[in-house]
Chains A and B, each alone.
Chain A
């Protein structure tokens, strides 16, 4: 922290007031910790005629019923799959944005961010129009004689994945681009001068240095995909069931809040587990400054 007073500049280490720490801690306890604890122990009695069961019944069901084990697996698999696809698509875009776009970089960033200004529901509906039986994609494929009758692109896991990737890839691009921008180009030049090929330079120098960006992008995209249900509802057509969808059902139809609470906690545990893995596995391999 730098203070300028009466023409005298003093530099002092940043010290946070204990009151701010106490306030922040209290805020987190009240609005984060306590709701999670309440969720873990949820024993709400509901205005419903359905059978009321203890929350332990639902945890037992989630971890022993093959159907729900499959749901948990599908939830993680979908999130990981979407994230990996976003990395595969996002990395080259980020690389182009940082290294080759030149004066067009601002425009490309605008193209990346502009869709985020539109509601996710509208963007998902856009895919419904494109993938419809009489939509643009089917019309083109029939015109090109690739298909002889419309294909049911919608109401499948693949259309849901396309919708999710479309929504989430900008987050991956921006995360990777911000780290790529900070990589010292002289390191790559040095590698080339010392005889490394472009591919080897990328694999040995650029890619390891960009792992932090991939890690950050992984976490953002994974967590967003993990909690997504609107895209699955509109594009998945019931073909792919995940925990967020089932939680949504409990709130809109069944009103079985204990079951919703149990599933929410499992979802939270998945998210925390992945955060932990990311912190442990992806470490920054920086080069000490000269």
Chain B
């Protein structure tokens, strides 16, 4: 009995030591974030690997979503489990004003000096956006022989039953911004989103619309034929095509697709090593690498795009991008818009 007791005690102590050892992270290591899929590959190979090469320290890549990461930082702000957070414009402004991230300029991130000022202003001085993409129309060339050229045509023909269209579900992080963009397209604004709800009510009532819950979900829907056409990110659509799926086509609508830029910021309690990582993220070379992986535009003005990318990037002047004030309004109203969407649309 006594021998058993000692064995149990020893096992408990040994397990505690083992787990505490496994949980202890070197002070030089940082934890950075990424969206899933091809994003993770690009972040790992273009930024994290470069950081590790230059500093000899590890950058652990965590996938998830901005809302999840913000919650994790909020739970332990003095010693956050995440050192560098990726987020959308509106979420960056919310995180900044909520005290979760550090203000950043060229003093903290020298390469910010080469970033187009548009992408610094987009997040109101909370660092800057490092890439941008547009929400275009992706379609199946085999089933959609005469694709639409504008968003309004796309919506009208979905209502008319020309195809089955897929839209992001309300659970997708960027949907409040999409609601704003459609409101503006149809004559509304961040203060009046009724036009967006009106058009989506018609789309839902037509029975020709389905929703995608994640970025890979849309590709599955297109592959299985559940959807013929849909709204999707240009970069991810091109990445899918590059993998041999040349049955997919991409249209940048003439009436201005929604542009989203993605920011990266240091958590307030994170170590200064995170600034080193962020400086790499805003450097031309690593950004060019990222652009080639994701087929998205990047924000350092010194980036030399490959031939492939020159035809694929749509510049902000041709896109619909929210101002900082609009991003703030989107963040303020997102919860109410989501509730209204659940009640009136349901996609």
Seen from chain A, the residues whose Cβ lies within 8 Å of a Cβ on chain B are: 46-51, 67, 125, 128-129, 132-135, 150, 152, 154-155, 233-234, 237-239, 241, 245-246, 248-249, 251-256, 259
Contacts and interface: CB of A to CB of B under 8 A. Distances in A.
A253 B175 contact: yes
Contacts, number: 102
B205 to A, nearest CB: 14
Contacts of A252: 65, 67-68, 171, 173
Given A49-B94, A155-B211, A256 B335 contact: yes
B284 interface: no
Counting from the closest, the 10 A-B pairs by CB-CB distance are A47-B98, A134-B225, A132-B224, A254-B335, A49-B331, A133-B225, A49-B332, A50-B335, A238-B347, A238-B346
SS of A interface (majority): loop
15 contacts: A47-B100, A48-B94, A48-B98, A49-B94, A133-B164, A155-B210, A233-B171, A237-B210, A238-B169, A239-B346, A249-B170, A251-B71, A252-B171, A253-B171, A255-B335
Interface of B: 65, 67-68, 70-71, 74, 93-95, 97-100, 164, 169-173, 175-176, 210-211, 213, 217, 220, 224-226, 328, 331-336, 338, 342-343, 346-347
A254 B67 CA distance: 8
A47 B74 CA distance: 8
Contacts of B65: 252
Contacts of A50: 331-336
A237 B171 CA distance: 11
Contacts of B224: 128-129, 132-135
Contacts of A67: 342-343
Nearest to A3: B1
A221 B82 CA distance: 37
A50 B333 CA distance: 6
A237 B71 contact: no
A255 B225 contact: no
Given A135-B224, A252-B173, A254-B335, A46 B211 contact: no
A162 B292 CA distance: 42
A234 B338 CA distance: 19
A251 B68 contact: yes
Contacts of A251: 67-68, 71
A234 B346 contact: no
Contacts of A248: 171
A154 B338 contact: no
A134 B331 CA distance: 39
A251 B66 CA distance: 10
Contacts of A133: 164, 224-226
Nearest to B332: A49
B185 to A, nearest CB: 21
Given A238-B347, A241-B346, A253-B173, A51 B225 contact: no
Contacts of A233: 169, 171, 213
Contacts of A132: 224-226
Contacts of B98: 46-49
A253 B347 contact: no
A222 to B, nearest CB: 24
B342 A246 contact: yes
A181 B99 CA distance: 60
A31 to B, nearest CB: 16
A254 B334 CA distance: 6
A153 to B, nearest CB: 10
A160 B271 CA distance: 45
